[in-house]
Amino acid sequence: VLDLAVTAEAGWTGGRRLRQPIAVGVTGQRITWVGHPAAVRASARRLHLPGVLLPGLTDHHVHSSQVDVRALLAGGLTTVVDLGGVPAEIWPLAAGSATAADRPRIHPAGPFLTAPGGYPTRQDWAPAGIAWEVADPESAAAAVRALAPHHPVTIKVALNADAGPVLDDVTLAAVVGQSRLAGLSVTAHVQGTGQAERAAAAGVRTLAHTPWTEILGDALIAHLAQTAVVVSTLDIHGWGTPAPECHTALANLSRFHRAGGVLRYGTDLGNGPLPLGVNGREIDLLGTAGLTGHGILAAMAGSRLARGAVADLTVVPADPLADPATLSHAVPVLKSGIAVGQHVPHISAG
Ligand SMILES: [Zn+2]
């Protein structure tokens, strides 16, 4: 039974051109077909949207307990990856979030693992409990074992030599090794000379920020492009008035991108004055780093407009392949097949 047909003037199904026009059939939480609006059965409930239909959008670096998560969904984000939160707050916030109509789907990492006294234990913004201090390989492995039953999306480690002590090589190796045994990847905050290289050597799979401390060497860029995903977070360096660190990060990210590396849109929401929702400045900076509209969309798309995919839909007013800035006007439509946002009242019976 086709529950709902969402139609629009155009939609993005993953390619370098839009499909015009488009209809997306949704049953329960899933997309059950994608086709032409003329093929929609007369009995289906309908929702017609002006603009361009997109899959749900994801911010791959947020701290959701430090923002109003309802505003993030209203701002076009149907999914967020939470890269550091207090366990007692973040597990309940994430539970049930996949089908909640009032907040994005939240994929949490849980607390930071860090060296005793390491980042972010001494930061003003960091609430008690957001970091677990691990002193040696045994306590690192025990921390990962304690987190695994909560099914974190990744294990977050801090390697910030600018803000305090960092995990030594054997303790970092224990985090990565124990995570691998638990089927989990490791995501690192790298800051301070040489920390990106240490993370790469240890087998860290995701960098939570584009490295900004130093211009990375060609061999390291090539290695990262083969082995790691980089979350952009370019706008944290100045929030609209790019600081010198922004230029270093841009140089690293554009070389990583040219080397074939996979990057993800992420903003570090919850940390600093960032817009609640899709950040147009981050999108502009991704363009400066050399990404096309297609590349930016691919870095943000949390799902696909395809049969079998989870039914997360957003809509934007213009063609984001030609004009990526339109993504900052994204409005959520469906999340796991549930109507969300301002379009809810406009669904008509078949
Ligand atoms: Zn962060």
Task: Report CA(63)–ligand 1 centroid distance (Å).
Answer: 6
Handedness of CA 233, 272, 325, 336 (dihedral sign): positive
Which pair of structure tokens corresponds to residue 284?
């502009």
Task: Report CA(268)–ligand 1 centroid distance (Å).
Answer: 5
Task: Report CA(61)–ligand 1 centroid distance (Å).
Answer: 6
Residue 35, phi then psi, degrees to nearest 5? -165, -155
Task: Report CA(19)–ligand 1 centroid distance (Å).
Answer: 36
Give CA angle at 295 (65, 32), nearest 5°: 75
| Tens-level pLDDT at each residue, the chain (350 residues) | 458 999 999 999 999 999 999 999 999 999 999 999 999 988 889 999 999 999 999 999 999 999 999 999 999 999 999 999 999 999 999 999 999 999 999 999 999 999 999 999 999 989 999 999 999 999 999 999 999 999 999 999 999 999 999 999 999 999 999 999 999 999 999 999 999 999 999 999 999 999 999 999 999 999 999 999 999 999 999 999 999 999 999 999 999 999 999 999 999 999 889 999 999 999 999 999 999 999 999 999 988 999 999 999 999 999 999 999 999 999 999 999 999 977 666 777 66
d(CA 224, CA 117): 28
Structural contact between residues 11 and 55, judged by C-beta atoms closer than 8 angstroms: no
Which pair of structure tokens corresponds to residue 283?
């999108």
Which pair of structure tokens corresponds to residue 289?
């780093």
Structural contact between residues 110 and 137, judged by C-beta atoms closer than 8 angstroms: no
